[in-house]
Structure 1
Amino acid sequence: MNSVDVLLINPPQNAELKTLLELHGPPMASMYLAAYVRKMGYNPKILDMDLDNLSFEDALKYVESTSPKILGITAFTSTVKTAYKLLDAIKERIKDIVTVIGGPHVTFMPDEALSHQGVDIVAIGEGEETLYELIEAYEKNKDLSEVKGIFYKNKNGEIKMTKPRPFIQNLDEIPFPARDLVDYERYRWNGVLEAPMLTTRGCTFQCQYCSSSEMMGRRYRMRSVQNVIDEIKEVQEKYHVRDIEFIDDTFTLNMKRASEVMKAIISEKLDVRLSLSSRVNTINEELMQQLKKGGTENIYYGIESGSQRVLDLMKKGIKLEQAEAAVNLAKKYGIKVLGSYILGYPGETPDEMNQTIKFSIKLNTDYAQYSILTPFPGTPIYYELDKKGLIMTKDWDLYTVLHPLIKYEAFGYPASLVARKLTEAYRRFYLRFDYIFRKRYMLPLIFKTLRRSIKLARMMAKSYSRNVIGF
């Protein structure tokens, strides 16, 4: 085995949540990082613990067998506690290994991360160039103070912060994700192999519940149309993938560029089934026509609320009328719509939650996804609630968008009401006679979704009871 310069580990999800939702896709962050350092001449490996349900001991043995110089983990809020425990265990057994953790959570909580013995370095924000420079620093005995965009502990155990790292402006310089470093054929859902693709980075909006603009910048950075087409061709040639999911926060933020991507797909005669996200105010009929011609089958709208007052509190920047128009436009062109909604936003009343449920039913989208407001670190709403002492728990395992985490008594109702509204929303949307009749070919999936929502309610009730007892 060639010497491994960096091993990138994808930590396991919450086991109960993974079983419940059956969600698991390829570790895009690790694949991007691996591709970049490989391009720069280094040898990376990826270990996806989720894919094989690996235990800590399994991971430790793999680390020992590969002997990487640097070990990196990307963690989200819901997986960060597991990541900390894993790094602590690895550091306990392999004292001289250099450990790096990155991702949205630690970008905004670096001191928390470095309080763990297993964490040497925290990578802030975009990680490709940072990881490469860290490998270079250790290879050439450079001081870590020269590496931009990190927090680290010096020899005296003091936490140091380096200069901020500028965002990568030319995204075409980043190679395609290293799909060959994972067992890509195994990332199937219901027998279908899908290829997630990130064609843009950054967000110009400032929704209060989202940290994307802080994590990836407020400038919308776009890969060239040809670069996107080349990646589609690559996954089709290597993995015979037809289903492509553009996982950009908002694929249609620049409508002209989105249209150009579609025109190129049509021109190249690429046989694809596309899924993508749009804001309801970044779409028009001309673009919708192009999306349809380009093979778009599913469009995701973050509608979030049926109350204009709550949308304004969220600083969502949309109107209810725009949501209706965008949904109707997609229906006109035969594109399936998934509408996403948030319940329990701070200051939202029970009646406004009901308005959201009613509005989602009125829109009659093909699918609806409901979640509970989760104050993720890095979001404006997190800092606002934390300052007021209104965050009920910082048990990050519960930050799954399925648990009520705010002291809702301050707004006049208990957290249990929000949990009930989540279940009620799923039941009322999916158990309508006209919906069941229209989607009768999907009855097994509909009832499976409902069973999950009931399990979710039970799971949240148990967790909520534990939280109340613990505080």
Structure 2
Amino acid sequence: MDKKKILLVSANTEVSPYPAYPAALPRLAAALKTRGYAVSQYDMLTGSLKELAEKVRLDEPFLVGVSLRNIDNTDSCTQRSYIDGYAALVAGLRACSSAPVVLGGSGFSIFPAELVARLGADYGIAGRGEEALCALADALALGKDPAALGYVYSQKRPALAGGARPPVSPGGADHQKDLLQYYWRSSGMIGVQTKTGCPLNCVYCTYPLIDGRSAYAFNPEAVADEVARLRKDCGVDYVFFTDSVFNMDREKELALAEALIKLGTPAKWGAFFSPAAVDGGYLAALKRAGLTHIEFGSDSFSDPVLKAYGKNFCYADISKAGAEAFKAGIPSAHYLIFGGPGETADTIKETMARTREQKLTVFFAAMGMRIFPGTPLARLAAAEKGAGPGGYGLEPAFYFAPGFDSASLEKLVAQETAGAGNWLLPRDYEKNLKLMQRLRARGRSGPLWEYLCR
């Protein structure tokens, strides 16, 4: 067993609404390579447990990192849990190697202690993993006890509360070409991160738990260089900036736009936006840098509901942002969550009426909110039930405002949007996945929802 070989595995096999590139693995690989490790990457979406076992036996890594992107599909209408698949993956690794297994990823970071125990892994790292994984690998390679690393979970003990974490690594990304080409062919876009952390207070959201509440922007020139390398090396002409919210640091975002323009605008791109503080000049600069799609995390078009959801904007902001996007000629999408805290029949009617005011847009609807531990929603749900907030865990549980459930909301929204053409409900994803695959086969890139815009 070579103590310089490390295998990184992406465990995600979900393809709806499209196969999502495991952007964390290239960053982890780049960080590890700077410490002298030989790193290979494996993706369960492109292979199988049998092929993975063969690779492990051949390569003999001394450490295997497994990234858990999601725990379930967070959809109350078509619930799917991924835990059994992850358990089979870890068991398969155990059967073919004695190398310790360390878990990480966004899904793992929400339930670190539970997943280390449930899946039988040796270690776990919650949150950003670049420097933390390097520190763990160094300790194991030198035969040192990782217990000194207070931020590492293990079978013996959880991570120490408030344990010191290494700084976020700005070390770039080491893309593995075969995986990159698979995702480029399959999804027509590659995910790239420009910042980490989220200071916002949406009641249901886990991003602050995963990446911390302090936003940290990567070097704009380095991000632009990565986009240019993707275009040069693999012909990637569309990237999606996967930040929780792109427009949180105007100065850095305009600097990124300038850096992309200096490189000849190497790719078209899209990102998740907040409707807060969106103006024409800002969008014009981003459009010159390649922005072609805006995905707004609006959640509702009713002010009482927006307040209950913990949003930092109101419907006037949504209306203005939509108008500015339309004026700039940039298609936009709005994600809406029906049935959360504060929702009533009247607020749903208000939201529905206001969606008809939007132009050049498409709507993605969700019914109810997945309750994750550590969020304001978990505390609210527990208080309403007269229970402790620790009752929400790996088994999916959803919050519905009084008088609603998944089926009634789905029926109501389907009736209200019948014939609209620019609405996507959860049960539509499978049908639209097949449509997107046909468009991909014709060489179309990007998210493709713009073909539904009205």
TM-score range, shorter chain: 0.7 to 0.9
Q: Given that residues 338 and 369 in structure 1 are in contact (C-alpha distance below 8 angstroms), is that contact kept between their aligned partners in structure 2?
A: yes
Aligned to 2:180: 184
| 1:6 counterpart = 2:6 | yes
CA–CA distance in structure 2, aligned partners of residues 220 and 160 of structure 1: 23
Deviation string 1:370-397 (CA, Å, 9 cap, x unpaired) is 1232223443213432565599x97958
Aligned to 1:83: 86
Of 56, 59, 67, 1:66 maps to 59
Aligned to 2:398: 406
Aligned-residue offset at 1:218: 1.5
CA–CA distance in structure 2, aligned partners of residues 293 and 454 of structure 1: 30
CA–CA distance in structure 1, aligned partners of residues 25 and 258 of structure 2: 31
Q: Given that residues 199 and 228 in structure 1 are in contact (C-alpha distance below 8 angstroms), is that contact kept between their aligned partners in structure 2?
A: yes
Aligned to 2:220: 225
Q: Given that residues 4 and 38 in structure 2 are in contact (C-alpha distance below 8 angstroms), is that contact kept between their aligned partners in structure 1?
A: yes
Aligned-residue offset at 1:37: 0.6
- The one-letter amino acid paired with 2:53 is L
CA–CA distance in structure 2, aligned partners of residues 175 and 295 of structure 1: 21
Higher relative contact order (CA 8 A, sep 6+): 2
CA–CA distance in structure 2, aligned partners of residues 182 and 120 of structure 1: 29
Aligned counterparts, 1:99-248, within 5 A: 99-116=101-118, 118-154=120-156, 159=158, 161=160, 164-166=163-165, 168=167, 171-172=169-170, 174-176=171-173, 178-180=174-176, 182-188=178-184, 193-248=188-243
Change (3 A) 1:39 1:113: same
Q: CA RMSD in A?
A: 3.1
Deviation string 1:300-349 (CA, Å, 9 cap, x unpaired) is 11111021111101111111011000010011111111111111213422
Deviation string 1:269-307 (CA, Å, 9 cap, x unpaired) is 234212122211132222111112222111111111021
Aligned to 2:444: none
Between 229-238 and 326-335, the greater mean CA deviation after superposition: 229-238
Q: Given that residues 381 and 399 in structure 2 are in contact (C-alpha distance below 8 angstroms), is that contact kept between their aligned partners in structure 1?
A: no
Aligned counterparts, 1:262-341, within 5 A: 262-341=257-336
Q: Given that residues 293 and 330 in structure 2 are in contact (C-alpha distance below 8 angstroms), is that contact kept between their aligned partners in structure 1?
A: yes
Between 296-305 and 416-425, the greater mean CA deviation after superposition: 416-425
- The one-letter amino acid paired with 1:258 is E
Change (3 A) 1:350 1:312: same
Q: Given that residues 183 and 190 in structure 2 are in contact (C-alpha distance below 8 angstroms), is that contact kept between their aligned partners in structure 1?
A: no
Aligned to 2:449: none
Deviation string 1:129-156 (CA, Å, 9 cap, x unpaired) is 11111111111111112224211123xx
| 1:430 counterpart = 2:387 | no
TM-score by length of 1: 0.80
- The one-letter amino acid paired with 1:253 is M
Aligned counterparts, 1:326-365, within 5 A: 326-365=321-360
Aligned-residue offset at 1:366: 2.3
Q: Given that residues 426 and 450 in structure 1 are in contact (C-alpha distance below 8 angstroms), is that contact kept between their aligned partners in structure 2?
A: no
CA–CA distance in structure 2, aligned partners of residues 26 and 119 of structure 1: 24
Deviation string 1:228-270 (CA, Å, 9 cap, x unpaired) is 2221221122112221221112222111221222223223323
- The one-letter amino acid paired with 1:412 is G
The gaps in structure 2 that reach 5 residues or longer are 73-81, 435-454
- The one-letter amino acid paired with 1:374 is R
Aligned-residue offset at 1:89: 3.7
- Tell me which protein shows more helix as a share of its residues: 1
- The one-letter amino acid paired with 1:70 is L
SS at structure 2 position matched to 1:186: helix
What is the percentage of aligned positions where both structures have the same residue? 20
Aligned-residue offset at 1:219: 1.4
Aligned-residue offset at 1:223: 1.5
- The one-letter amino acid paired with 1:175 is G
Of 227, 249, 254, 1:254 maps to 249
Aligned-residue offset at 1:419: 3.1
TM-score by length of 2: 0.82
- The one-letter amino acid paired with 2:110 is F
CA–CA distance in structure 1, aligned partners of residues 337 and 85 of structure 2: 26
Aligned-residue offset at 1:352: 2.3
Q: Given that residues 57 and 97 in structure 2 are in contact (C-alpha distance below 8 angstroms), is that contact kept between their aligned partners in structure 1?
A: no
How many residues align? The count is: 419
Between 361-370 and 41-50, the greater mean CA deviation after superposition: 361-370
SS at structure 2 position matched to 1:33: helix
Q: Given that residues 120 and 153 in structure 1 are in contact (C-alpha distance below 8 angstroms), is that contact kept between their aligned partners in structure 2?
A: yes
| 1:44 counterpart = 2:39 | yes
- The one-letter amino acid paired with 1:305 is S
